[in-house]
A and B are shown apart, each in its own frame.
Chain A
Amino acid sequence: MRIGNFRAYLIVAIFSLIYGTLRFSSTLQAAHILDRRDRVDVATLHLQGEFVESNLGAVRAADGSSTIHMIAEKYVFVPACVTAPVGVPIRLRITSADSVHGFKIAGSEVKTVPGSVTEIHLRLLAVGKYEFYCDEFCGPGHHAMMGRIMAVPENQFPPQLPDRGVACGQP
């Protein structure tokens, strides 16, 4: 059986479009699922990886941007108070040590999931105190699960210490 050239091209083009779209989206999805960079082991958060104690809090990269590492757990954010510079891009990487928690700051909200890292991109516009809290009910202490980011001028933000993030208070 033979068909016209135009029809043949049309059939191949439609097939390519449908198959290509499905394959492309499923590949991206598979890549996201397979991506190990945002997976952490809940049991050994304190022993290995980016959420060890000395790495919590804000640090400053060479390009001026800042990274904050934080753990949400029943019923505190650790560190509960973070000092961060104003006006620079801030990458907040947060994970959970037990159940699903929320992280709500200034009208935007993400979930923190045990075993996975949630990344938020922030830019603090003015000096001051920014409160954030958990808005996903996590147990009888949920209402008190709050923390704060203290925004300071960029030149007052302490330089990166060799073995410790910068937080107001402890560590």
Chain B
Amino acid sequence: MDSPKTRTGIRSVVLLCIAVVIVSELLGLPILRRAITPAPRPNNPTPAAGGPSLVAWNEATIALSSKGNPVRGEFISRRCELCHGVEGFSSQASTPNLAGIDAQYLWKQLQDFRTGKRKSVIMQQIAGALTSRDAADVAAYYAMLPNAPDTQFSPSFPQTLQDRNAIETAQRLLAVGDPGRGIPPCQACHGPLGYVRPAPSLAWQNSDYVLSQLKDFAQGTRSNDVNLPMRTIAAELLPNERQAIAEFYGADLARFPVGYVTQ
């Protein structure tokens, strides 16, 4: 039998274990404290004013831009009719068609015109007179208009194809893009194959307008695409490719996914 001195009470064992727990918890605290302290970033520049757009797609803006009142929007749209057409199809090919446009896209563009992030002498004035709510309403109105032009309002759409050779180039870029140069297929974001918020559908868009926007993106004179997708892609496109894409869309050839329908 051991003498009482070499034996330990179970209570001491439990107390020692509790001490171990306390020490471990205390040792862990500085690690956790370091984690929750935001570290200062040396490369953390740029005020928001320098960004491409002030619109951030959070829950509030998504709800506001997609739940406009089209009836109220129809009254506001009276001041758009002169250029963009009574039914949303404009009579000039350089002015975009707004019929059936994505409401979130149109709302964002009106916001960008309002804040001067997208430059246009006329649109900055007109959009400046609208509230954020007005913009959502008018976007909802144009989003529900049919995407086929009504001939009684003399729409410029569809335009006649200038160059038959453009079809092949455009079909290739719309259907597969050019992976080697990092150009994704247009129809993956601009429909009808797929959509990415807030990319607009281009299937019934005017050729002159598409061409001018591609040029502006490539040169950086239009720079309100959040995270630069269009500036990156348009800069990779060659001038004749931009022309071909614009003509293809303007000639109403992109209603159905290219490469998925036999013609």
Contact = CB atoms under 8 A, between A and B. Distances in A.
B196 interface: yes
A97 B193 CA distance: 20
Nearest to A61: B42
Contacts of A43: 56-58
B21 interface: yes
Interface string A87-121: 00000000001100000000000000000000000
B13 A143 contact: no
Interface of B: 2, 4, 6-10, 12-13, 16-17, 20-21, 24-25, 28, 31-32, 34-36, 38-39, 41, 43-46, 48, 50-54, 56-58, 176-180, 182-185, 187-189, 193-194, 196, 220, 226-229, 231-233, 235-236
Given A23-B28, A36-B38, A144-B185, 16 more contacts: A2-B9, A8-B16, A35-B35, A37-B38, A43-B57, A46-B226, A47-B48, A52-B45, A55-B43, A67-B43, A75-B189, A79-B228, A80-B182, A139-B194, A144-B184, A170-B220
Contacts of B45: 52, 54-55, 163
A52 B43 contact: no
A12 B13 contact: yes
A30 interface: yes
Contact of B32 (A31, A74, A79, A171): A31
Interface of A: 1-5, 8, 11-12, 15-16, 19-20, 23-24, 27-28, 30-32, 34-37, 43-50, 52-56, 59, 67, 69, 71, 73-81, 97-98, 139-141, 143-148, 163, 169-171
Contact of B20 (A12, A46, A54, A146): A12
A2 B8 contact: yes
Contact of B31 (A27, A47, A145, A163): A27
Contacts of B7: 2-5
A30 B182 contact: no
Contacts, number: 181
13 contacts: A12-B17, A19-B17, A27-B28, A30-B35, A31-B31, A47-B56, A50-B43, A71-B227, A74-B184, A139-B196, A141-B188, A144-B178, A171-B231
B188 A76 contact: no
A52 B51 CA distance: 7
Contacts of A141: 177, 184-185, 188-189, 194
A53 B182 contact: no
A144 B20 contact: no
Contacts of B8: 2-5, 8
Contact of B50 (A8, A52, A80): A52
A8 B13 contact: yes
Contact of A59 (B43, B57, B232): B43
A139 B62 CA distance: 22
B54 A32 contact: no
